[in-house]
Amino acid sequence: MLRRTIDLLLPALFPSWRFFKQVGPSPRVEYRVLTGGCESEWRESHPIPENVGLKRMVRRMFWNPARNTQLYMVSLSERLVSGLVEHSAAELNRLIAEKIGEQDGELQFRLMFMAPEGDQIVGTVVYESEPVALQELRV
């Protein structure tokens, strides 16, 4: 507990400030629902909208919970692949379950990391979660 607290505090008290040092592979979270042996298609969870107008940008300066959740999910995805699996997976499950609302079955998600390959942007699946009952996540 103490070790973890120190690990969490130190980067805030002695920050490295290396924002965007490199632009590496970027995560997308996809999910599917398994119901009675049937699997739905993989869908992106919390996708960005097609367009955000200037008025909405201004509004988001003061009220931005959805976007901040998306950014948190990016952090969780990066933490998950760097080793903080249990907490990150639990949080991602919780956030996806919140988003898809009332639905029965089991939730499974995967992390797809996007990176350029020549002229194409290619996604590589780097993690696939164990299915969890949606009812359990809502509790």
Partner 1 sequence: MSFDAMMRLTEVMLALVILQTCVEHYWMGRDRVLFAARALACVWLLVGWQSGGAVGALWITHLILLHRFGGPYNGGADKMTMLITTCLGAAHLFPAWQELAMAYLAVQLVLSYFVSGYVKLVNPEWRSGQALVDVFRFSAYPVSERLRGWADQPRLLWLMSWSVIGFEVIFPLTLLHPFALLGGMVVAGTFHLANAFLFGLNRFFWIWLCAYPSLIWFQDRIFG
DSSP string, 24-66: --EEEEEEEEEETTEEPPPEESSPPPS---HHHHHHHTT--HH
Binding residue for partner 1 (CB under 8 A) from 74, 126, 133, 137?
74
Binding residue for partner 1 (CB under 8 A) from 36, 37, 49, 118?
49
With residue 72 as reference, give the H or E element that holds it. Answer: helix 65-81
- The smaller minimum CB distance to partner 1, of residues 34 and 67, is found at 67
Contact 42, 137 (CB under 8 A): no
Q: Is 6 in the site for partner 1 (CB under 8 A)?
A: no
Interface with partner 1 (CB under 8 A): 4-5, 8-9, 11-13, 15-23, 26-28, 48-52, 54, 57, 60-65, 67-72, 74-76, 79, 84, 87-88, 91, 114-116, 121
